[in-house]
Structure 1
Amino acid sequence: MPQQSEKPTLPPEASMAPDMSMFEEEGDEGARVMAISNWAYAAINVGVYSSILYSHLAVPVTAFKATIGTEAVFDEDAGLWVWEKAFDVEGKGTYDIRLTANVQDQNVNWMGYISGEGMVDNFVWFTGTSDMTGEAGYWELYESPESASVWLSNSWEYDKETGNGATTFTVEKEGDNLGSSITYRIDDTMEMDRNIVITNTDLDSEIYVDWSRSDKFGQVKSESHFESDTYFCWDASLQNTSCE
């Protein structure tokens, strides 16, 4: 019988589910802003990745979030730590996640088995590796039970004490966005404490976005779009403003 290993720490939520709600459109007022603002340009580009994570890959992303705060048990027969939880995905139904951690020295191999809705039975929707503290690692998220290929891969590194760090998602799916990436960074020492860098391989361009999570103001830079290497800013109401 396998000897019980030390229980690893779950990776942080931001390793798979960064908070990009700042760029969600809200109603008619949001639509009007979309027509005019610097925020809108940032939102459109962030929205490509937000849509993959929170629409196309909503099941595995929600599954991982559901395990956070759940107590793990050690499966003595398998020699694995296991987190189990039922969860709902809006518009898609109810599922169950069985997240396993196989500890090898100071490394952890993760597997996310998901079942539900009568069509999914123990499908491994994501896999990953991390250190024991959950402060650094790598995820791979698979497209669907019908197309079991990796859509996104990501690597992350976060400081457990401060929560500061970054996750970089890279598109692995064939198509125009193959190889493109988005890096989401948290740095609570900065006034604009959230940052995104988008690298688009199809357009050979980069977009830089910084914003304040609490106060909503921010800035965006894209030389290909604005034909300038300076930042363009928005205020707390998402309206264009001069950059001070």
Structure 2
Amino acid sequence: MKKLKFTGLILSMIALIAVSCEKSTDTPEQSLSPELPPSESMAFDFEAFEEDGNSGKSANLVYDNKAPNGNWVFSRVVVGVWSSALYSTLAVPVASFQAAFTQTPEKISEDTWQWTYSVDGFTSEYSARLTGQLTEDAVLWEMYITKEGIEGFEEFLWFSGSSAIDGNSGFWILNQGPERPDAMLRIDWEKSGEEIGSIRYTWVRELDDQENDDLFRNSYLEYGLQDAYYDAYFNANVYDANLQAFVDVDIEWSRSTYEGRVRALAYFEDEMWHCWDANGDDVACE
């Protein structure tokens, strides 16, 4: 009887090993690759404050309190500095990262995976190579871009970053471009549930395009969610070239109605909130 029990135990162990091997064989290497950080961690949706132009290259924030829709327009100008930088100066690396979500990675070493692909949406031909390296504490990311044709360039490290193993937080460092491979923008992000709960854009460029000290350096725009009617906010601390000083701007709005309000002592010359309605028209704050 004891011999039969022992034999049964051995058979059970063999069966478990066989199942384990079968699962290991059927699992593709790609399924073990690190999960990409959310696309919103780099390219936040600025829909509520859309603006045309190249304000990302200007540190001038001009406010006219006699202009119609002045409260929303002023808020849009503040936010536009950052959205323009992302979608004009840094459009190629941002689009390259977003395109990675449609690709399948390849394992190239014991702890590193690679995504390689062409980037659509531009008149020039760009190729991207994104790597993700697993470490004990984080995933390290690097994006290399190559351009073919006129004013082409060899592979260039356009951004790098790190994300927590659980995928709930991280940061990016975006360089200005191949001709000026200097850090320009740092993005720190953190998830809240299934969406980005907070994100901060910090201008880290040391020299401007004329090789002078970049006075806008250390300016930042922070986005977050809150449990209130105005359920989203921006807190900004930015350098204003006209005032030759850093100024604070607080913006709150409803993500469902687009109503909002702004507070900025340096521009409104008071510490009160200034509101707009769902159409962007100035209204009295309740």
Short-chain TM bin: 0.7 to 0.9
Q: Secondary structure at the match of 1:133?
A: coil
Letter in 1 for 2:41: S
Partner of 1:236: 278
Give me the whole-angstrom Cα distance separating, in 1, the residues matched to 2:181 and 2:256: 38
Write 1 or 2 for the structure with the bigger share of helix. 2
Answering whether residue 184 of structure 2 is matched by residue 184 of structure 1, we say no
Partner of 2:76: 43
Shift of 1:208: 1.0
Stretches of structure 2 that go unaligned for 5 or more consecutive residues are: 1-28, 53-65, 208-213
Q: Is the Cα contact below 8 Å between 1:94 and 1:116 reproduced in 2?
A: yes
Partner of 1:59: 92
Shift of 1:21: 2.3
Equivalent of residue 132 in structure 2, options 101, 121, 128: 101
Letter in 2 for 1:179: N
Stretches of structure 1 that go unaligned for 5 or more consecutive residues are: 27-33
Shift of 1:224: 0.8
Give me the whole-angstrom Cα distance separating, in 1, the residues matched to 2:194 and 2:269: 37
Letter in 2 for 1:197: N
Give me the whole-angstrom Cα distance separating, in 1, the residues matched to 2:111 and 2:49: 42
Answering whether residue 258 of structure 2 is matched by residue 212 of structure 1, we say no
Letter in 2 for 1:61: V
Partner of 1:31: none
Shift of 1:7: 2.4
Answering whether residue 46 of structure 2 is matched by residue 20 of structure 1, we say yes
Partner of 1:194: 232
CA pair 15-222 structure 1, distance change in 2 beyond 3 A:
same
- The ranges of structure 1 where at least 4 consecutive aligned residues each deviate by more than 4 angstroms after the TM superposition are none
Partner of 1:152: 185
Q: Secondary structure at the match of 1:42?
A: helix
What is the CA deviation profile of residues 102-141 of structure 1, one whole-angstrom value per residue up to 9, with x for unaligned ones? Answer: 1111311100011223313321100001112321111110
CA pair 112-133 structure 1, distance change in 2 beyond 3 A:
same
- Equivalences for residues 134-173 of structure 1 within 5 A: 134-159=167-192, 161-173=193-205
Tell me the percent identity: 33
Q: Is the Cα contact below 8 Å between 1:219 and 1:232 reproduced in 2?
A: yes
Partner of 1:221: 263
Report the aligned-residue RMSD: 2.2
TM-score, normalising length: structure 1: 0.85
Shift of 1:155: 1.3
Give me the whole-angstrom Cα distance separating, in 2, the residues matched to 1:185 and 1:94: 36
Higher relative contact order (CA 8 A, sep 6+): 1
TM-score, normalising length: structure 2: 0.74
Give me the whole-angstrom Cα distance separating, in 2, the residues matched to 1:182 and 1:168: 6
Partner of 1:127: 160
Shift of 1:10: 1.2
Q: Is the Cα contact below 8 Å between 2:186 and 2:202 reproduced in 1?
A: yes
